[in-house]
Structure 1
């Protein structure tokens, strides 16, 4: 996604520069306007789908979630679709002004503005990816969800610690330290661990690696 945005920014910036230094009349500008209208409609629909996947708390929830490290692929798709919609709107306005006023400078300005926006989006995505690569912790709200499902598992007496960090673009590593009820047999413990893992993966499907340290008087004795 980052490479595509940088390539798109470069091509758009080059077009704007050429239109400023060596203006060329546009052919079939009204056809291009129709294509841009279609692009705005399709990209806007894609944005709505990404927003639904990211949060159910409205636009403020989207902003909060975007600042966090969770759901990187969904955020990447959302940013890409938002930039696609915005640049299409800029291009549409520029072409309408060009067609109405016969001023090629509007086409150049629209192309350069689109290039700037795509470059900014690429930098944002790079910053997000860097946080994931360096082992960024899972957001506190997601940690709290995991604490609730683990603590609520029958047989778990106490959750001593829970650590969850990103280990890739869409992978999370989780480490738990649990106190178990003292009367559990070995088979019961195996069933309990399977239940804990199932609950964690249901709550956070991107968990790819789970480590559990157990404390029980039966185990220690």
Structure 2
């Protein structure tokens, strides 16, 4: 539950900051006529809605298993994370690109540019505060031997790194907006304000594509980390009734919801009730030591059969 509270803290911080910033940017765009500022306002509004969708996804994912979803609803978070990525691309990048093209084709001089600079400065301060909260939480999730990109790719909790990437894109977008507005004013070329909007669209588009790619992988199904798999095998191997724990197949249904399938070769002399008792012991120990394993399936299987099937899966992957 600690992980969930940390993720929600990140989203609440981003929600509060983005809503205040969006309203301020729209007001500044109305009074100054800046295309880049309008694009930034849309960007912050989209980020606000995205935070709400992530919270909704976390709420839906926490529902218990039922008749229609016997393994639970954990993947709801992954689905809504994917929707967030699409919204960043369609609304954030799309509107910014449109505004940029319109203002290049029909440029209008920016008035009261000082207002834009004040708003951009305040926005950078607020976005930076939200970014630091997300960065701090993400640092707690990544291991010391992981690089930042590797940590994102191996993470099974999209709520934190989605906010982190959105805030990073926002900070870059603010920098581009400042450059576009100041260049348009100094060079007396209002078209550069529109160019700034197109730059923001490119940043948002690249961010959205990366987030969509990561969310798609989680939605399809990604395995647990090697450390988790090794621990499951070690627990199974330690039971006296187990001759050999052949291997384990895992898939994340949520950040802290893992389904595991164990291939075990039991001792030859065991009866069916004794095998059943062993499985119950394994389930109880895993529930105690690894509560993230929410479902366990055990398949009695010889080592040779397991190796043959693993080889067949590997061969099929290479052909694909």
Scaled to the shorter chain, the TM-score interval is: 0.7 to 0.9
2:122 to 35, 41, 46: 35
Q: 1:194 — aligned with what?
A: 284
Asked whether 1:16 is paired with 2:103, we answer: no
Out of 92, 104, 114, which is 2:200 matched to?
114
Counterpart of 1:144 in structure 2 is 227
CA distance in 2, matches of 1:47, 1:110: 26
Match of 1:165 in 2: 251
- The CA RMSD over aligned residues, in Å, is 3.4
Distance in 2 between the 1:185 and 1:163 partners? 20
Partner of 1:129: 215
CA displacement at 1:209 relative to structure 2: 3.3
Query: For the residues of structure 2 that align with 1:145 and 1:214, how far apart are their CA atoms?
Result: 21
> Which range moved further: 91-100 or 184-193?
184-193
Q: Tell me the residue number matched to 1:85.
A: 171
Residues 164 and 128 of structure 1: is their aligned pair in 2 closer, same or farther, counting only changes over 3 Å?
Answer: same
Q: How many residues are matched? A: 208
Give a deviation string over 1:57-78, Cα, whole Å, max 9, x none.
37x5221123346333333233
- TM-score, length basis structure 2: 0.54
Q: Which of 187-196 and 156-165 deviates more?
A: 187-196
CA contact (8 A) 1:98 1:107 kept: yes
SS in 2 for 1:35: helix
Higher fraction of strand: 1
The structure richer in helix per residue is: 2
CA distance in 2, matches of 1:93, 1:65: 32
Shift of 1:118: 0.9
Which digits, 9 at most, give the CA deviation of each residue in 1:19-55, with x for residues without a partner? 2122222432233223332244224314413531441
Q: Which residue number corresponds to residue 138 of structure 2?
A: 51
* Cα shift at 1:144: 3.2
Structure 1 residue runs of 5 or longer lacking an equivalent are 216-221
- How does the TM-score come out when normalised to structure 1? 0.73
